[in-house]
Amino acid sequence: MVISVEKRLQRSRIRLGGTLELWLGGGLALGLLLLTVFSGIVQPHDPMYGDLMVRFAPPGTPDHWLGTDNLGRDMWSRVIAGLAWSLSCALVATLIAAVIGTVLGLLAAENHGRLRGVIRQAVDLVLAFPGLVAAICVIAVVGQGFWPLVLTLGLLTWPVFARVVYAEALSLLERDYVLAARLVGVSRTRILLGHVLPGLRATLLVMLAFHFADMLIAESALSFLGIGAPLGDPTWGNMLAESRQFLFRAPWMLFVPAAAIVLAVVTANLLGDGIAVAARKRGRGIDV
């Protein structure tokens, strides 16, 4: 069958776009990961050390190519230090939400009795509270720190995964190969882990990327408000908060951490879009 030129061009654009997003997002993610792993090597200065003789040095200053802040601390070193905190916090919070949401979503899809109703009520209960407001209240009670922050974010956002996994798993449980597995006596646990969960792989990867971006923004917002990372720690949210009173005198104190947040969020979104396009192509039998 002859394929029209328009359809060929459309397929080429889809293939090129998805490939570019995936490769660009993967390359940026790899670069951020390497900066995190080798942060001690790429930091020319101690991020907590300040030299008042070079305070408010503008970008391009020798030995401080991104400038310094109001206490003479090197902006590049502080951004790299904040990278390790922010990425670790967002990643751990995302994994906590993904594990809880996936397990409960699978259980709700497999069980048709009281357990499904309980999980549904739990999802509705968590979603009834505004996420950021609930996180502020919880952290204000339990205190600041890495683990209180990631546990709060993870435990407040797992319903996102639970609802998607529940809907996808219901569809997968009706597939012929799952029904055949039931007929031959395969256990529920083996069906969920060996037949349903692999079918959710692409969906979970896309959700992980997008949720990671959301957690990164949430962590920065909470730190900006002073209830996320401990005050004084070199995190992107704290750097944004410290830059407010020096916005006109030293605007790079705001632009540098803001650009870092935007870059990390764009990287996660590119990865998510690229994985989604690649999965959609494979579902249609189109080579990536």
Please provide the DSSP assignment of 161-172 as one string. Answer: HHHHHHHHHHHH
Residue 90: pLDDT band (50, 70, 90) is: very high
CA distance 155 to 254: 30
Neighbouring residues of 220: CB distance < 8 A, sequence distance ≥ 6: 86, 228, 235, 236, 237, 240, 261
Q: What is the pLDDT of residue 287?
A: 37
Q: Which domains does the chain have, with CATH numbers?
A: 5-283 (1.10.3720.10)
The answer to which of 22-31, 63-72, 134-143 has the lowest mean pLDDT is: 134-143
Query: What proportion of the chain, given as a percentage, has pLDDT over 90?
Result: 29
**Of 202, 225, 229, residue with least CA distance to 87:** 229
Residue 135: pLDDT band (50, 70, 90) is: confident
Query: What proportion of the chain, given as a percentage, has pLDDT over 70?
Result: 91
The answer to which of 107-121, 176-190, 199-213 has the lowest mean pLDDT is: 176-190
Buried b (16+ CB within 10 A) or exposed e, 38-68: ebeeebebebeebeeebebbebeeeebebbb
- How many helices, marked H, and strands, marked E, lie in the chain? 12, 0
Q: Is the pLDDT of residue 239 over 70?
A: yes
CA distance 188 to 20: 40
Q: Specify the higher pLDDT residue, 154 or 227.
A: 154
Q: What is the pLDDT of residue 263?
A: 94
Question: Following CA atoms 90, 93, 97, 103 in sequence, which dihedral angle do they give, to the nearest 10 degrees?
Answer: 120
CA distance 95 to 171: 24
pTM (2 d.p.): 0.85
Q: What is the mean pLDDT of the chain?
A: 84
CA distance 184 to 182: 6
Question: Following CA atoms 65, 70, 74, 78 in sequence, which dihedral angle do they give, to the nearest 10 degrees?
Answer: -120
